[in-house]
Amino acid sequence: MRICRITKRYPPLIGGLENHVRSLSIQQAKNDNHVDVFIMFGKAEQAEHPNLRVIQVPGSRLAKLFKSESAISIFSAICFFWKVSRFHKVHHYDIIHIHGDWVEANLARVLSWILKVPAVIHVHSGLNQSKLYKFFAKRSFPHAGGVIVQSSDLLEEMGSFGVPNSKIQQLHSGIWYEQFKLSKNPTNELPLRLIAIGRLHKMKGFGYLITAVSQFANTDVTLDIAGEGPERANLQKAADESNTTITLLGVVKHDQIPNLLSRYDAIVVPSVVLTGQTETTPTVILEAMATGLPVIGSEIAGIKDIIKQNINGYLVPERDSDKLAQAINTMISSPGLTKKIRQNNRKISRNFDWSIIAKKVDMAYISSGANHN
């Protein structure tokens, strides 16, 4: 199958979307598909597989001058349309897979109509709740050949926009399972070593986590937070004022995550819902599960799709530092349950290997009308 993938952002830019696009493209190339990835921001370096090409469209410098994300998306869509149309004349794509939002859904619709190729739109993040956004969304998503979403909340949202259930596929992101090894065996020794990973943004809820961890003695719990972002100064101040050992590690490259996770006893994902912004399924949850780590996460969006209470982790209400502290205390006081969760997570995470996720994406293509050559 010849796959045309379109995304504004690509590595070496850091983020869940960027890693998702790159990893899925590599796995599809390994499966004997020919994959062309058209990008606006990132680097079109030599791809990691002979069947994979990364093509940067012109216009990235001009796109950065726009103030709003919608304006950037509209400008990028025009650039993508021009470039993809030219390449299709030579390579004759079987499917067009676009990652984005309502603007990209319209691009999928137009490309599909003009090039006579099935197209799917892949939505990764929470949707804007404004009336203006919903106006455009209801006139965009239903016309795409297929819609891939990453959480049950997004699936319901697409239904409210008028997208038929037959067009929607809920697929989580994936991991390279074999890169992750079972972390050290728990010894019941304190301190309990916690890790949190993500952009230092209010949406990640790290401030609530610091407040929760600060309720414990230094000898009971330690916390490391990996990432950078606009909230660093506020988080550093809160960490400095705590009596508990809390360390901000800065940026950790994605290929260092497997080794990093193996040093800890559990991961905490205390994300919160902001206006127009919410988590779907943070990939780091799946990576932590492959390492055997219990997950303490907020009961929101894609997190609750993966984490089941006392089965593979603990769910707590968002923005609730006291409940976070209770979950941490449960880990300290219930080593038997923690051991069971470690075993469950290692087993469950196998189902999210990219080899399995890529096959499910192929099925979404076929449902949208693509021919599997």
Banded pLDDT at 255 (limits 50, 70, 90): confident
Coil, helix or strand at residue 304 = helix
Sign of the four-CA dihedral 85, 91, 95, 99: negative
Q: Which pLDDT tens digit goes with each residue over 90-106? A: 999 999 999 999 999 99
Rounded-to-integer distance, Cα 119 and Cα 107, Å: 9
Residue of 150, 88, 117, 93 lying closest to 282 (CA atoms): 150
Question: Is the pLDDT score of 108 beyond 60?
Answer: yes
If you average pLDDT over residues 132-141, what whole number do you get?
92
pLDDT of residue 327: 96
Segments in the chain forming alpha helices (H): 16-30, 60-63, 69-91, 102-115, 131-138, 152-160, 206-213, 232-241, 257-261, 283-290, 301-306, 321-333, 335-348, 354-367
In the structure encoding, which two tokens stand for residue 20, read together?
Answer: 């998702």
Of all residues in the chain, the percent with pLDDT exceeding 70 is 96
Q: What is the pLDDT of the chain when averaged over all its residues?
A: 92
Q: Which of 13-27, 184-198, 315-329 reaches the highest mean pLDDT?
A: 315-329
pLDDT of residue 185: 57
Coil, helix or strand at residue 5 = strand
Residue of 261, 262, 264, 255 lying closest to 223 (CA atoms): 264
If you average pLDDT over residues 203-216, what whole number do you get?
96
Q: Which pLDDT tens digit goes with each residue over 36-69? A: 999 999 998 766 899 999 999 999 999 988 988 8
Asked if 105 and 142 count as a contact pair (C-beta separation under 8 A), the reply is no
Q: Which pLDDT tens digit goes with each residue over 218-235? A: 889 999 999 999 999 999
C-alpha distances (whole Å) from 352 to each of 173, 208, 259 are 7, 29, 19
Banded pLDDT at 7 (limits 50, 70, 90): very high
If you average pLDDT over residues 156-167, what whole number do you get?
94
Asked if 5 and 99 count as a contact pair (C-beta separation under 8 A), the reply is yes
Question: Is the pLDDT score of 131 beyond 60?
Answer: yes
Helix pair angle (283-290, 16-30), 10° resolution: 60
pTM for this structure?
A: 0.90
Rounded-to-integer distance, Cα 308 and Cα 108, Å: 35
* Strands ordered across the beta sheet of 245-250: 245-250, 221-226, 192-197, 266-269, 295-298, 313-316
Q: Which of 187-191, 272-276, 298-302 reaches the highest mean pLDDT?
A: 298-302
Question: Is the pLDDT score of 26 beyond 60?
Answer: yes
Coil, helix or strand at residue 38 = strand
Domains, the chain, ranges and CATH? 2-174+353-367 (3.40.50.2000), 178-351 (3.40.50.2000)
Rounded-to-integer distance, Cα 373 and Cα 364, Å: 15
C-alpha distances (whole Å) from 97 to each of 25, 115, 129, 220, 259 are 11, 14, 25, 48, 32
Rounded-to-5 percentages of helix, strand, coil across the chain: 45, 20, 35
Question: Is the pLDDT score of 277 beyond 70?
Answer: no
Question: Is the pLDDT score of 19 beyond 80?
Answer: yes
Burial class (CB in 10 A: 0-12, 13-18, 19+), 163: buried
Coil, helix or strand at residue 346 = helix
Phi (first) and psi of residue 56, to 5 degrees: -90, 125
Type and span of the H or E element at 202: none
